[in-house]
Amino acid sequence: VKDSGKNDCLLYSESWDNSSLERLTLQHELKRAIQRDEFVLHYQPQYHLGTGEIVGVEALIRWQHPERGLVPPGLFIPQAEESGIIMQIGDWVLEEACRQNKAWQEAGLRHIPVSVNLSIRQFLQQNLTEKVSDILNRTGLKAEYLDLEITETMTMDVKHASRCLLELTKLGINISIDDFGTGYSSFHYLKTLPIGRLKIDRSFVRDIQQDPGDAAIVAAIIAMAHNLNLQVIAEGVENEVQMQFLQKHLCDEMQGYLWSPPVTGGKISALLQ
């Protein structure tokens, strides 16, 4: 299993394969993991490219598995989505991220938004806005400190997306488009939906130095975002050359191993001090 090197994720030799038995086992274990409270969130700082200040964090789930150690989301989120367990996991993630952000604020730390990844199933549920609104009420976090990351695929049903996103943004929540540039979608939604930020997929950032095509795409996304009055963040920034390119093209924010991998909530407290 290939894992992000600088993470504190443990490497483990076994993983779930695709046989139906293994899938059933995983499904069963995921249900149990919710009951046993085995999920944790790590947070990756998002930095302003002009000032170097932390301007947000992205919540990223990990599974503290009793035998396998810290399991990265790529190994269980797809199956959780397929089986529908993502709904319960997603509820937990939303509430935990809001609770943690409120706790940082109560500890007197600088107020920043937390970004939460939404899966397509969560996005399509009827009562998403009520759910999010309830969670904000319960945790006491103001909506402006919650950012929801959706993917381009979720905007393909423009009617649903516009109703859903309008409700969410009315609450005061910001919407970011994750993995921008990799999805199958038209640009139409960019001017019609209430989106606040584009997140340039790390596949384009990765080869900025070697591939003039990727460099051109990144520069074009930044320019387009700004012309549409959207913020733009680059993900997967791993080296100085990539960062300098982004700075030169006036990208607003960056996230990546160059400045910090995802870390525990405790480490974020220290960084925000």
The Cα–Cα gap between 46 and 73 comes to: 19
Give 58's strand partners. Answer: 44, 115
For Ca ion, the closer CB: 152 or 235: 235
| Contact window for ligand C2E (CB under 6 A) among 17-25, 28-36, 230-238, 265-273 | 230-238
Nearest-angstrom CA–CA distance, 205 and 180? 11
Which residue number places its CB atom closest to ligand C2E? 256
Residue 236 interacting with ligand C2E (CB under 6 A): yes
Q: Does 72 bind ligand C2E (CB under 6 A)?
A: yes
Helix (H), strand (E), coil (C) string for the chain = CCCCCCCCCCCCCCCCCCCHHHHHHHHHHHHHHHHCCCEEEEEEEEEECCCCCEEEEEEEEEEEECCCEEECHHHCHHHHHHHCCHHHHHHHHHHHHHHHHHHHHHCCCCCCCEEEECCHHHHHCCCHHHHHHHHHHHHCCCHHHEEEEEEHHHHCCHHHHHHHHHHHHHHCCEEEEEEECCCCCCCHHHHHCCCCEEEECHHHHHCCCCCHHHHHHHHHHHHHHHHCCCEEEEECCCCHHHHHHHHHCCCCEEECCCCCCCECHHHHHHHHC
60 lies in the site for ligand C2E, by CB under 6 A: yes
The reply on whether position 253 binds Ca ion by CB under 5 A is no
Per CB under 6 A, the list member of 45, 56, 113, 262 interacting with ligand C2E is: 262
Beta bridge partners of 198: 177, 232
Query: Is the distance from CB of 208 to CB of 241 less than 8 angstroms?
Result: yes
149 touching Ca ion, by CB under 5 A: yes
Choosing from 29, 95, 152, 179, the residue that interacts with ligand C2E (CB under 6 A) is 179
CB nearer Ca ion, residue 27 or residue 44: 44
String marking each residue 81-100 x if it binds ligand C2E according to CB under 6 A: ---------x--x-------
- Of the pair 27, 61, the CB lying nearest Ca ion is at 61
Residue 29 interaction partner, one of Ca ion, ligand C2E, none, beta carbon < 5-8 Å per kind? none
The answer to whether 256 contacts ligand C2E (rule: CB under 6 A) is: yes
Q: Which does 112 bind (CB under 5 to 8 A by kind): Ca ion, ligand C2E, none?
A: none
Examine residue 117 and tell whether it contacts Ca ion (CB under 5 A). yes
- The single residue among 4, 125, 153, 185 that binds ligand C2E, judged by CB under 6 A, is 4
Among Ca ion, ligand C2E, none, what does residue 38 contact (CB within 5–8 Å per kind)? none
Site for ligand C2E in 113-142 (CB under 6 A): 117, 119
Contact residues: Ca ion, CB under 5 A = 117, 149, 178-179, 235
Contact residues: ligand C2E, CB under 6 A = 4, 44, 60-61, 72-74, 77, 90, 93, 117, 119, 178-179, 202, 235-238, 256-257, 262
